[in-house]
Every structure is written in C-alpha cells, then in structure tokens.
Structure 1
Amino acid sequence: MAAHYDAIVIGTGPGGEGAAMKLAKRGKKVAIIEKAHSVGGGCTHWGTIPSKALRHSVSRLIEFNSNPLFGEDQARKQLTFAEILSHAQSVIRKQVNLRKGFYDRNECDLFFGEASFVDNHTLQIRKNDGSLDYLSADNIIIATGSRPYRPADIDFAHPHVYDSDTILSLDYHPSSIIIYGAGVIGSEYASIFRGLDVKTDLINNRDRLLSFLDAEMSDSLSYHFRNSGIIIRHDEQYKSVEATPDGVIMHMQSGKKMRANCLLFANGRTGNTDKLNLTAVGLTPDGRGQLKVNDNYQTEVENIYAVGDVIGYPSLASAAYDQGRIAAGSIVSGKDTRKKLILDIPTGIYTIPEISSVGKTEQELTALKVPYEVGRAQFKHLARSQILGSDVGSLKILFHRETKEILGIHCFGERASEIIHIGQAIMEQKNGGNNIEYFVHTTFNYPTMAEAYRVAALNGLNRLF
C-alpha cells in the first residue's frame, strides 16, 4: 500500500521549497519528489545560481583588468570558462547542503526519481535503478520547473551545440560563440563570454534588446554591449544550423551566415509536464507545457496545485517561492487565501552591468496617459561610485506629477538588483506613504550608492512647475 501524506510536492526548486516549508511548519506530513540527484531544482543546478556565480567571477575579472590601482602596465589577467566554473560549482554545493538541511530539519520525506500521476491522489516514482514506489496524498503540488526549448532541427548532441543547461558542461575555452536568443538568459551569457574575451554574436528575434524593459534601460544595455565588442543582430531568425568538426555555421533567413566555435541556443523554455502523465488526472498543458491555475494556484483539479515556471509568467525564482507559500496557505486553511503576489514584482537582470526595475515603464505610463515626471541620478556623480571606480549606470524614478506617488523605478549599473529594493519598499507603502519626497526628507549614509535616490528625487522634483 502506498504511503499517505497530507501533501506531496513534486520538485525542489524555489516553488517546491516554499510550499514544502510552509506545509511542514504548519504540522502537515509532507513528501518531496526530486528527479535530479540532489535538491535545489534547475534554479540551483543549471539556472539562477550558477549563471550569477559565473557573472560575478567575470565581473571581478573585468574590474581587476580595468582598475588603475593595480598599475596601468600590469599584465591582463586571463581566465577560461572552465576556471570560473569551479567557483560556480562551489556555490552550488553550498546551496544544495543548505537546502537539504531545510528538508531534514522540518522532517520532510525526500524521494529521488521521476514522478507521474496514477490518479489525482496517487503518484508513481520511477527510481534511477528502475524500481517503482507509490505515494498518495490529499493534495499534490506540481513545481517541476522548466527546461530550455530545443527545436527538433538542431543537433544538441553535437559537441559544439549547447543550451543554457548544457553550457555548464563546456570543457574548453571557445574563441567565438553565437548566442541565439537575446532574452534574459542570452543577454546574461553574452556578458559572461564577452568578459572572457570570447568573440560574441548575440542574435535577437526582436527589434531591440529585452523589449519589456523601459526603453532607456534597454538602450543603455545595447550601448554597453556594443562598446564591449558584442555584435548584436536584431530581427533575425535562423534557417538552419550546420555543425562542423570545429564549430557551427548558422544560416539565417535573411541570407546571412555566421561561423563560431560554438552555439548557445537560448530561445525560450518549456514547462516540465510531459512526463507527469497528466492525462490520468484530466489536465492538459498548453503548447509550452504550462498549466492554468486560479488565484490560489489550483489547477482545474481541485486538489492539484501548480507553481513556478510550470505556470509561466513571471517565471522568477523569487516569485515561485512566494507562489509555493500561497498554495500551501490555501491547503492549510482549506479555503481561498487572501495572500497574493505583490502587484509590482521586481526584475533583476544580471548582465554586465546589471539592470533592475520595478513598476511601470515610461512607455506604459505614456500609453495610459498618466501625467508623470522623471528624476535621474547618474552614478558617475556619486562619491561612492567614484571610490569604487564604477561610474557606469544611473537610477531613474518615475512619479506622478500631482500626487508625487512613485510609479516606477529603473536602475542600470553595478548592484542594480540590490539598489532597487530601497525604492520598492517605499512604493509598497499605503495611505500616502508612497511619495518621492521621502527620499528628500530622509538622511542617507554618505557615501553610498543609496544616495542616488536623494539625487534622483531632487532632480525630479525640480522639474515640477
């Protein structure tokens, strides 16, 4: 007979972890199923953690090579992709041990293998040795994440063709790379490879980089990418990929041909639902493997929930964790939860330099006919930025001309993803607390990057008449 639980969570990424921890702390008997060899999900092993660790290493390398403090006649330090991978692997190990401890301390039962539905209360687990286990539960949460989209006409088994998961197995230092797909993942890896002096072609399907961003931020990124030597090709679609013994040739629909030592295909992701046997419970994912859910993250089957990448937007690790907790709250209470994701979810893009934003863009506010004003602070004018030798970047605050309510914040430059949260905290204040004048009337440590908020607020308020 199958062991029975109050809840089973499929997947140990941020969404699964958030759900499991809340359920366990509310006294529920919880089982976790993970198909990989250790906990953490794609976020820890192939996505967020390793790519950000790689980015940090490359950023420090660039800083060393450009810092006059170490002498202008110094020999440039060179690192290979394999060398910076060692730092990423160290971070992954620490994260896995940390997260394994969470499950152990909260007495969650961990099962390793591939889960599939038998019915809406029962799961089959196929272990690595081929043996089968069966578990049942009152409620089941699908937090299986996503994987890189792989077109059938591209040979990903070729030693010079990679996706954003397999790129972490790259065991040589390429002289050149084509990155197909200029979304968040493609742009971040373009920064990493160019920082390692790899000739980088970034192929974009659209007319500008990261078109969901405020146009000024997108333009700033494009400028700095080109200034660093990245070749950006907009409005391009591939026709075919020709693999050669020493690399790849990408044939474009426009007639162009590009040759490189390797290809990173980073154009879209697919929800990991194809092996769950969802037909057994009457669920049908869309063409991208994603499931529909309600405000409590319930699917069309009342006792089955889904969170994280497997439900699509916003496909952020931070949001997935909160979604898992909200779903768990609904299970614990047995009714609709009043908890919801915050309206303005911050975005952090770990390119070099970083970009982070929260709230509306200028383009959105213009389309909505909202009377807004702009306050700006250039990092090169901040004492802390000058001390750090990092003068690239800016902070932009968008606020209502009449109420002075902050409507959007956009930051470009080193530590942008940290800086953004200061403004986000004020944006979340109710009953008139969201007001740009807060930054004028408070006192900031000096010198700090946070001082950019005071500078930007004064700059914007001076525009009012």
Structure 2
Amino acid sequence: MTSQQDVFAPFALPSLAILGGGPGGYEAAMVAASMGAEVTIIERSGVGGSAVLTDVVPSKTLIATADAMNRNVDSAELGVSFKAADGDPKEAIKADLLQINERVLRLAKEQSTDIRRGLEAVGVKIIIGTGRLLDNRTIEVDRGETNEIVRADAILVSVGAHPRELATAKPDGERIFNWTQIYDLKELPEELIVVGSGVTGAEFASAFNGLGSKVTLISSRDQVLPGEDSDAAAVLEDVFARRGLTVLSRSRAESVQRTEHGVVVTLGDGSTVTGTHCLVCVGSIPNTTGIGLEAAGVEVTSSGHIKVDGVSRTSAPNVYAAGDCTGVFALASVAAMQGRIAVAHLGGDGVRPLKLKNVSSNIFTSPEIASVGVSEADLASGKYQGDVLKLSLRTNARAKMRNVDEGFIKIIARKGSGTVIGGVVVGAGACELIFPIALAVAQKLHVDDVASTFTVYPSLSGSISEAARRLHVHM
C-alpha cells in the first residue's frame, strides 16, 4: 500500500552538491531543499556569485542612478527645471561616484546576505571555499587552512564566467578596467573609452554618459549591439548621438596603454583615441578550468563551456550544469531556470526542456531594449514566416505624459495563423513591458487573445494591445 508520504514526495534524491552559488546554484538549492533533499552549496566568493556581487546587481544599480539623472536632465519639458549658473541643467545635477559606488556595493552585499538567509532557512549548507570535482559524486573544497570532502548523489556545476581580457589591454584597476573593477572608481571619469559594443559595453557606455562622463564607445561592427534587433539598435544610436556619446563603428581596438594622465587606445587602422579611463568589455570566459571536470567525465566545448542538454544534463552520470559556464544564454534568468530544471529532472518531477525561443532578455541601456522569441532576422533567413507590426511610442498618451519621445513596440505573428511568436520593446521599463509578449509566446496565444485583453488607459502596455489589434487575421 502506498503511503501518503510516498504520494506527495516524489523526490528521490537524498543529497545534492552544488558547485557555485550564483542564480543557477541558489535557485536549484532552494527547490531541492523544499523537496526534502540534503543540499550543500560550495561558493568561493559569496552567495549570489558574480551575478549579485560584481555583475548584474551592481551594474543595474549603477544604471538606475544614471536613469534618475537622465530623467531630471530631460524634465524641463514637464515644467520642472534645475537652475545652474550657465543655465545648463546638466551642470545643476552632479554624480558623486564615490557615494554611488558605495551604495552599489552595499546593495550587492545586502542582496547576497538576503539570499544566504533564505537558503539557510530551508536547511541548505553553505561552504565558502574553492571546489574541485574528484569524480561524479565527490567535491574537494579548499577552505584555505583546511580541505573538506563533500559527497552527494548528484552534482550541479554552476561556476559562472569571468571577463575576457586582451593581451594588449591588461586591466590595472586604476585607469584600465574590466567590468568587475569599475566600482572601485572614486571619481567620475572625465573621458571614458568603452571597448566593445555588446550588451555590457553598451550598458556601461549609456550609464556613464547619463552620469556625466564624456563617453566614446568603440564598436568593431556596423551597429551597436550586434545581433540584436536592428531597429532597436538604430534608436539607441540616435539617443546616444543626441546625448553626446560618440560611437566609433567598424573600429577595432588593438591595444590600450596607460599614459601619464590617462589612456590611449590604438585602433586597427593605426589611429588613436585618448581619454582619462578605459573600460574593456570584450566577452567572458567560463570558469571551468581546473575544477576537475575531466576527472568527473564532463565534456566541454572548444571554448571551455560545459556541454548540456535541454534538461541541464552533462555527459557524466549524476552531473548537471547551469548558467554562464554552459554557454547557453548569459542571463541570470536562464541560469536559474536551468538549475530548477535540473532539480526537477533529478527528482523525477514534471519537467519541460529549456526552450530558448521562450527566453525574454533585456538590455539596460537608456532607453531599455527587451526582446523575446523569433526575430526579424529569423524571418529574413527563412527560418520562420511571419507578419511584423511596429508601433512607435510617440503616439502613446502615457509616453507623452512622461516625456518619452523614443521607442516602440514590435510584435511578430506567425503568418496565416496569427500566433504570437516574437516581440521587441524599446523604451523606459521595457524589461517590464516584454512580459505580456513573452507570456503570449510561451503560451502560443493568438494576436486576438492579446488584443482582446483589457489594458489600463493611459498606459504603455496599451500599445502592446494596439499592435496586436493591427495584426488581426481575417479568417
């Protein structure tokens, strides 16, 4: 006879060891512990990993401060003005970078503490140290003066990644920085050169421009944010130009050297760009070297990323992986989902493989750029057939009230059926506005389902409904 405990406790994994306490690790730990497993997290820096301590939380906190300054500088149209001796509103608002960075790091530490408390409250054991797999069930932890052996029925590897460096542009933490060092600055850079126009480079360029630095963004491609929606990138470049941010397109940085009072960046054509500081954002490298993956039988790609399938399994029995070290999508939300999926699969719970076309992402520039699902590039390549409707936010009543004069809503529907398969939002709060489109993509909603759902008037979300309405398919 099956007991009630057997019916409601399908989780069959007594113990789980997690190497890395970032979003993939701590989310998996929370789920596994709530299902009755004995869970141990090994983390070398602090709970939350780089996402909380040196990457996502700090950078988005810095960006939020810059956004506040941008709103105030642009508030004259609203009848709100800041007086300065020369009449320039930018001169009336100053950024105290020392205070800003102190707050940034304090919030990161507080978030790490909150996550740790939540984990300990559900019984998760946390070990601070450097872990190395001895086999597919054992991790050796170097705790400095002592070593500890952790054995478990299964292992989840979620070790993240670190900034890629150029041999000719070594960060020194004083004039030349990677993105983990930028919070050590005590004063606002007078002239900041940002190398790399991907997501990280564009975000920091936008933020420091908003804080008052003179920013030059060096991009090796035709547009900023290569690979993103071209309409969105065009809007961002227009805003950059209007705010005095210089973009050097099709320019590759060959070297960055420190001078007596600043830095000089040498480009591929031999020309140079000078500034007071330089931030190098040229990608990341997975933290998979020297952690015993070979001993455990875990295969990696040529780039060092761990190979995983749709349910986060590696090539080794009992070993799963999640997060940036897998090279799937460098997003905290994806890491967390991979971790949760791994635990569900381990426990025999209902699980759906990770579907990348359901992943929504946001670029925290000003304005923000969010996207989900099929892109216009996918349509152009012939992978999908769809109809596209782009609706400018200039005509949105709420946008006018908030003095928002750039941005758009874009919805992509499957040709013939009208099912929502993708979307892009550009504008303030795009990270929030993308959710209803992402929900429509994930649940395969029809454009009429979106259009017939009530929205608040006036609201920015009203433009999502309007865009869907214009994509109505006559049956």
TM-score range, shorter chain: over 0.9
Decide which of 408, 424, 429 is 1:410's aligned counterpart: 424
SS in 2 for 1:232: strand
CA-CA distance at 1:426 after TM superposition: 2.0
Q: Secondary structure at the match of 1:397?
A: strand
Match of 1:436 in 2: 447
Question: Is contact 1:377–1:459 with CA below 8 Å preserved after alignment?
Answer: no
> Conserved in 2, the CA contact under 8 Å of 1:376 and 1:455?
no
How far residue 35 of structure 1 moved from its aligned partner, in angstroms, is 0.2
- 1:369–1:340 Cα change, 3 Å: closer
Distance of 2:31 and 2:391 partners within structure 1: 41
How many residue pairs align between the two structures? Answer: 455
Q: How far 1:91 moved relative to its partner?
A: 2.5
SS at match of 1:177: strand
User: Which residue matches 1:8?
Assistant: 17
Tell me which residue corresponds to 1:426. Answer: 440
- Whether the 8 Å contact between 2:419 and 2:446 is mirrored in structure 1 is yes
SS of structure 1 residue aligned to 2:334? helix
1:206 positional shift: 1.9
Partner of 2:117: 101
Contact 2:411 2:422 in 1 (8 A): yes
Q: CA RMSD for the aligned pairs?
A: 2.2
CA distance in 2, matches of 1:184, 1:342: 18
Q: 1:82 to 1:70 in 2, by over 3 A?
A: farther
Q: CA deviation at 1:237?
A: 2.1
AA at the equivalent of 2:137: H
| Corresponding letter in the other structure for 2:436 | I
1:60 to 1:280, Cα distance in 2 relative to 1, 3 A: same
The residue number in structure 2 matching 1:25 is 34
Is residue 140 from structure 1 mapped to residue 155 from structure 2 by the alignment?
Answer: yes
The yes-or-no answer on 1:358 pairing with 2:369 is no
Q: 2:87 aligns to what?
A: none
Asked if residue 126 in structure 1 is aligned to residue 134 in structure 2, the reply is no
Q: Structure 2 regions of 5+ residues with no counterpart?
A: 1-12, 85-91
* C-alpha distance in structure 2 between counterparts of 1:72 and 1:119, whole Å: 64
- Written as runs of structure 1 = structure 2, the 5 A alignment for 1:215-364 is 215-283=230-298, 285-333=300-348, 337-341=351-355, 343-364=357-378
1:284–1:372: structure 2 CA closer, same or farther, 3 Å change rule?
A: closer
Q: Are 1:85 and 2:110 counterparts?
A: no
Mapped contact 1:359–1:407 kept (Cα < 8 A) = yes
TM-fit CA distance, 1:369: 7.0
- The offset of 1:361, in angstroms, is 1.7
Work out the CA distance in 2 between the residues paired with 1:255 and 1:62: 35
Alpha-carbon shift at residue 70 of structure 1 (Å): 5.8
Match of 1:43 in 2: 51
| Residue pair 1:269, 1:288 contacting (<8 A) in 2 also | no
Structure 1 position 292, deviation (Å): 0.8
SS at match of 1:358: strand
Give, as a single letter, the amino acid of the residue that structure 1 aligns with 2:371: S
Partner of 2:463: 452
2:387 paired residue number: 373
Q: Name the counterpart of 2:400.
A: 386
| Matches of 1:330 and 1:125, distance apart in 2 | 26
CA distance in 1, matches of 2:120, 2:278: 40
In structure 1, how many angstroms separate the alpha carbons of the residues matched to 2:394 and 2:93? 26
Which secondary structure does the structure 1 equivalent of 2:222 belong to? coil
The superposition leaves residues 224-276 of structure 1 with CA deviations (integer Å, 9 ceiling, x where unpaired) of: 12222111122222222221132111111111101111111110100011231
SS at match of 2:447: coil
- 2:202 pairs, out of 184, 187, 204, with 187
Distance 2:142 2:313 in 1: 25
Deviation of 1:73 (Å): 5.6
Which amino acid counterpart does residue 77 of structure 1 have in structure 2?
Answer: I
CA positional deviation for 1:383:
1.6
Pick the aligned partner of 1:62 from 70, 74, 95. Answer: 70
Q: Give the partner amino acid of 2:157.
A: I
Deviation at 1:287, TM superposition (A): 4.2
SS at match of 1:448: coil
CA separation in 2, counterparts of 1:226 and 1:43?
30
Distance in 1 between residues matched to 2:297 and 2:448, nearest whole Å: 53
Contact 2:359-2:438 at 8 Å conserved across structures = no
**What's the offset of the Cα at 1:133?**
1.4
TM-score norm. by structure 2 comes to: 0.90
Given candidates 135, 138, 152, the residue that maps to 2:167 is 152
One-letter amino acid matched to 1:110 = I
SS at match of 1:445: coil
Distance 1:303 1:370, change over 3 A: closer
Unaligned runs of 5+ in 1: none
Deviation digits for residues 166-201 of structure 1, max 9, x if unmatched? 112122221011111111000000001111221111
Question: Which moves more between the two structures, 147-156 or 337-346?
Answer: 337-346
Of 391, 399, 411, 1:397 maps to: 411
